[in-house]
Chains A and B, each alone.
Chain A
Amino acid sequence: MSVIQIRDLTFAYDKDIVLENISLDVEERDFLAIIGPNGGGKSTLLKLILGVNKVQKGSISVFGEPPHKGLSRIGYVPQNTNINTDFPIKVIEVVLMGHVGEKKPLFGYGKDEIACAMGALSQVGMQAFAQSKIGSLSGGQRQRVMIARALCAHPQILILDEPTSSIDIKGQKEIYELLRVLNKSITIIVVSHDISVILEYANKAAHVNRQLSFHDISDKKQTFHTHGEQEHFCEIELLQMLGAEHCESCPSTPSTGSGTEDPAGLETETKDTIANATVPEPAEGREEK
């Protein structure tokens, strides 16, 4: 069953179209990676799913309901967890914030809420830090606390925006391992620049750059792994693999000068330059022969 269903969605800020005719299905217990260039519309898409931006054209349903109603079943981990590190607040209080907006006692925290928050902290392995000041934690630990805050409301979908952008390599791996465990019971959507790590853990990928190209990569990982000795790929290589089969406007062979939208344009351009350097002829002429 699809937990999130997006149909023919188009969204514009004023007259700038950010997303155009997007359709996407997220199934239960998917691990979806949303990738794409800056300004390509990833964050806008998240905001639409979360109901922060209003749908203009097309539709989004979360558990069969409009986004703002499905919100209580979504846990959200925002991008900047390093803001406000001077703020005098204990880890447990941050996690308890996950209950904000629900019915609650007039002041103080209920026993059940505290128990729930401690449970969420132990899920992410941070229960020992409950009484620590949030500013004393490392970036990775803070990110875990933010995940615990999202888990506090027992979500069925967990959405993370660039969860590892400010964490060291070891911390990143730990976060993704944690997500892999959580994925056994929760659907996970991750926006990230970090393509190689994402492809290790995700089973689906959506490349968003105004339009969306969707890939089921659960079986494709093998191809990636046999591709080279290293497990890391450069972004262009990956975009080529993901983009080539889909995007007809981006031919994989160098043709006329119109190939500017090709995500692998770097390579195309290099070849053109070399060709032009040796054969001083316009590219079009070359093609006609």
Chain B
Amino acid sequence: MIEALSYDFVQHAILAGILVSFAAGIIGSLIVVNRMVFLAGGIAHTSYGGIGLAVFFGLPIFLGASLFAVGAALLIAALTLKSRHRIDTFIGLIWAVGMAIGVIFVDLTPGYNVDLMSYLFGSILAVNTEDLYFMGSLLAVILFVITFGYRNILAVSYDSEYAALRGVNVRFYYTLILILSALTVVVAIKVVGLILVIAMLTIPVYIAEKLSNSLFSMMLLSGAIATLFTLVGLWFSYTYNLTSGASIILVSAASLGLFLLFFGKRKQ
């Protein structure tokens, strides 16, 4: 195990795991407290359309996926802010159409045999330096937004009606949270894949919520818990030659089970 740490790809994987875990912990907290889990799931799957387009046009995958995911986030924000009627139907639709677009464009790409599985279930062991820059920049942007927008984000998340009354631009912050979610989903695809991303955004957050008494501490704790799960999952993956994304999610789910068992008992 120790000699494994000397490999570049293992170092990259660990660094990526930490960066993405903190991004997912912070943004996942916002997603959960704003009840946007389903929206985030929609954005995650839609972003596959961006991956397909990027493959077809020969663009960097991250770029294609990011643009597409942000587009989906803007569309979903507009839909939810405008009318809430049957919004879940539309999100389901966007979800499926995005994936369909991705599959079709990969089909249309001549001579390209893309490894679909690596996007669906993650490929953290194939993270390169460029990916790390992208992940690092995103985390920096998230930290910046949280630092300077914390009070307004807190007010919008806790009681949007009151925040609007006090002159806070609720639409702006709501859209901002969705855009950051989209970008976080894209980087998390590299780690756990777009099918499993929703678990990474919610399981650590669920545990952290029970242990925190402020949104800020919940974000940090979620990040730390997600990091722990990712690294332990990575170890399992490396040692037993298992798919990394699935290992991380199962470690998370098992930990959640243990947590509920002990925390639930303690509460009674």
Using CB atoms and an 8 Å cutoff, list the residues of chain A in contact with chain B: 50, 52, 71, 76, 78, 83-84, 86-90, 93-94, 96-98, 100-101, 104, 106-107, 109, 131, 133, 149
Q: Which residue of A lies closest to B147 (CB)?
A: A107
Could you say which residues of chain A place their CB within 8 Å of the CB of B163? 97, 100-101
Could you say which residues of chain B place their CB within 8 Å of the CB of A87? 33, 157-158, 215
B148 touches A97 (CB 8 A): no
Nearest chain A CB to B224's CB is how many angstroms away? 15
Smallest CB-CB A-B distances: 6 pairs: A101-B166, A101-B167, A100-B155, A88-B212, A133-B213, A88-B218
Could you say which residues of chain A place their CB within 8 Å of the CB of B157? 87
| Sample of 27 A–B contacts (CB below 8 Å) | A78-B161, A83-B159, A84-B33, A84-B159, A87-B158, A87-B215, A88-B209, A88-B213, A88-B215, A89-B154, A89-B158, A97-B151, A97-B158, A97-B159, A100-B155, A100-B166, A101-B163, A101-B167, A106-B147, A106-B148, A107-B147, A107-B148, A107-B150, A107-B151, A109-B151, A133-B213, A149-B162
CA distance A86 to B163 in the complex (A): 19
B168 touches A101 (CB 8 A): yes
CA distance A98 to B161 in the complex (A): 13
A89 touches B166 (CB 8 A): no
| Interface positions of B from 130 to 174, Cβ below 8 Å from A | 147-148, 150-152, 154-155, 157-159, 161-168
Q: Which residue of B lies closest to A76 (CB)?
A: B165
CA distance A96 to B167 in the complex (A): 15
Q: Is the interface of B mostly helix, strand, loop or mixed?
A: helix
The contact of A78 among B148, B152, B159, by CB within 8 Å, is B159
Q: B217 in the interface, Cβ–Cβ < 8 Å?
A: yes
Using CB atoms and an 8 Å cutoff, list the residues of chain B in contact with chain A: 33, 147-148, 150-152, 154-155, 157-159, 161-168, 209, 212-215, 217-218
Nearest chain B CB to A170's CB is how many angstroms away? 26
The contact of A97 among B147, B154, B164, B214, by CB within 8 Å, is B154
Nearest chain B CB to A135's CB is how many angstroms away? 9
Could you say which residues of chain A place their CB within 8 Å of the CB of B33? 84, 87-88
Nearest chain A CB to B79's CB is how many angstroms away? 21
Q: Which residue of A lies closest to B164 (CB)?
A: A52
Could you say which residues of chain B place their CB within 8 Å of the CB of A84? 33, 158-159
Q: Is the interface of A mostly helix, strand, loop or mixed?
A: loop
Could you say which residues of chain B place their CB within 8 Å of the CB of A50? 165
Q: Which of A50, A84, A96 has the most CB of B within 10 A?
A: A84
CA distance A228 to B158 in the complex (A): 45
Q: Which residue of B lies closest to A94 (CB)?
A: B158
Nearest chain A CB to B212's CB is how many angstroms away? 4
B162 touches A97 (CB 8 A): yes
Nearest chain A CB to B267's CB is how many angstroms away? 12
Nearest chain B CB to A225's CB is how many angstroms away? 37
With A97-B158, A100-B155, A106-B148 given, is the CB distance from A88 to B165 under 8 Å? no
B218 touches A76 (CB 8 A): no
Nearest chain A CB to B141's CB is how many angstroms away? 16
Given A76-B162, A93-B154, A94-B158, 10 other A-B contacts at CB below 8 A? A50-B165, A76-B165, A87-B157, A89-B154, A97-B158, A97-B159, A100-B152, A100-B155, A101-B167, A106-B148
B214 touches A88 (CB 8 A): yes
Could you say which residues of chain B place their CB within 8 Å of the CB of A100? 151-152, 155, 163, 166, 168
The contact of A104 among B151, B161, B167, B212, by CB within 8 Å, is B151
Q: Which residue of A lies closest to B161 (CB)?
A: A78
Nearest chain A CB to B81's CB is how many angstroms away? 15
CA distance A106 to B147 in the complex (A): 8
With A71-B165, A101-B168, A107-B148 given, is the CB distance from A89 to B155 under 8 Å? no
CA distance A133 to B218 in the complex (A): 13
Nearest chain B CB to A48's CB is how many angstroms away? 13
